[in-house]
Amino acid sequence: MKKTMKIYMAAALLAVVSPAILAQAPVKVVCNELKQKGNELVIDAVITVDGSQIKSRENLSLTPVLESASQKEGLPSILLNGRISQKVYDREIALNNLQDEPRFLVVQAGKNENVINYKTVIPFESWMKDARFVLVPNMCGCGKEEQGAPLVIADKVLTRPDKRYEVQPTLAYISPEAETVKHRAEVGTAYLDFQVGKYAILPDFRNNAVELAKIDNTISTVVNDKNITLEGIILKGFASPEGSYKSNTVLAGNRVKALSEYIRKKHDFKPELFTLDNGSEDWEGLKAKVEADRSVPSREAVLAIINSNDDPDKKDARLAALDGGVPYRYVLKNIYPSLRRSDYRVAYQVRFFTVEEGREIIKTRPQQLSLSEMFAVANSYEIGSKEYNEVFEIAVRMYSDDPVANLNAANIALSKNDLDAARTYLAKAGNSPEAIHARGVLNLLEGNLDEAGKLLEQAKAAGVKGAAANLDELRKKEADNQLFDSFE
């Protein structure tokens, strides 16, 4: 027999099987345990018999029985003999004349209460799951036999549940603040080729047709959209560091001016629409690309020169002289062309949309919707529906660093039990009461109940409505864990 485990919910068990007295026999019984443990059924009952009611020539047989609608099984019985009946029993046993039924205990009834601890373990069978446990009394004496009505010891076997309790969390979303003006921008980079030392835009020179088409397409997309008002175009030109810093600065400035003139004439824009910025030699870009390219010869020495406090022209001279010019020739061929570029930003303003409009816009141009508009669109669908979830997932893609977008996306992930995704979103969800609440729900679903309790209590104190419901879920999970542990 396995070692005895703590009795789970003893108070509840006793409430179900509180002591009763059999009218036909001087018996009362209390069931301490009737529980499945693995492949066994553990039985623990205390049977009390008033021996003074059993006459000298009588005996009382008490047979515990497990019975369900489909099957019945008797267990070894208890036999209490009166004084003379016990002598007869002992004599028959000594003479080997008695073919008795299996007995748990045979004892002479005392004059007062006889207390019998009925403890046994039997193999558990599936039909026992729906069985009740009764005690059948049979009083015999003076040639008469009287069977009493069965006394219910326990109305059911306590069995391990088929599966663990699944937490049903309540989630707390945040409605984002509405934007007063919806400013947006399309950004890109063009790598235009120029003749040496010149700044005229030549559309058919080398790959310029492709690069100019990128800018034209971006601008056309904005100006042809009826929902958009163009606000401005910001251009910033960069040069690679070879040659004089002064001449490169002038050259970069002239080239970005030439690009603005090309765009202005192409699209018939006013000059005041443009903002120009001269980035001159792009040493920051050179540093980033050398750090990313492990094939650069003498890479550490190159980075040391780039990071030095020397003026740009001296840096350029030192790079050209380093290791016989090998590193310089490498960066001149493989890195410098990417530094000669024009970054462009097409800024615009988007009108506000109704919910019905938003339902369509989110499918094709979600970047035009504000977070608050997306929230309104989501709430036009049934909570938890495919469409509802998709809106929040789009929102976090469009606003990947926004705490509110990340919190709401985390809640969607939690609702789908995608705990890895929820954890990733919550890392960027900030520390609002709702974010603390969501982390509590994550810990609850992961089974970290102590940490979940702390976080949910914080959220409750901060006024998050769903926290109380989730604390109830936590208590249900704790009770379920205790129940499962009791069957180990």
Q: How many helices (H) and strands (E) does the chain have?
A: 17, 15
Question: What are the φ/ψ torsions at residue 294 (nearest 5 degrees)?
Answer: -80, 0
Q: How far apart are CA 67 and CA 74, in angstroms?
A: 8
Residue 116 near residue 77, CB atoms below 8 Å: no
- Cα→Cα distances 149→37, 68, 108, 144, 382, Å: 30, 17, 23, 17, 58
What type of residue sits at position 239?
A
pLDDT of residue 147: 74
| 13 has a pLDDT exceeding 80 | no
| 194 has a pLDDT exceeding 90 | no
CATH 3.40.50 is the classification of domain 25-152: no
Q: Who has greater pLDDT, 213 or 39?
A: 213
The arithmetic mean of pLDDT across residues 456-471, rounded, is 97
pLDDT in tens, 60-105: 999 999 999 999 999 999 999 999 999 999 999 888 888 888 899 9
Interhelix angle 245-267/208-223, rounded to 10 degrees, is 50
Q: How far apart are CA 84 and CA 142, in angstroms?
A: 11
CA 433 to chain centre: 18
pLDDT band per the 50, 70, 90 thresholds, residue 8: very low
pLDDT in tens, 206-258: 899 999 999 999 999 999 999 999 999 999 999 999 999 999 999 999 999 99
What the block records as the tokens of 270 is 């006013």
**In the chain, where are the structural domains located?**
25-152, 180-346, 351-484
180-346 matches 351-484 in fold: no
Strands (E), 309-463: 342-350
| 12 has a pLDDT exceeding 90 | no
- Percent share of the chain, pLDDT over 70: 94
Residue with tokens 């890109």: 188
Residue with tokens 């001087």: 26
For the segment(s) 351-484, the CATH number from 1.25.40.10, 3.40.1440.10, 1.20.1250.20, 1.10.645.10 is 1.25.40.10
pLDDT in tens, 304-359: 999 999 999 999 999 999 999 999 999 999 999 889 899 999 999 999 999 999 99
CA 251 to chain centre: 55
Architecture of domain 180-346: 2-Layer Sandwich (3.30)
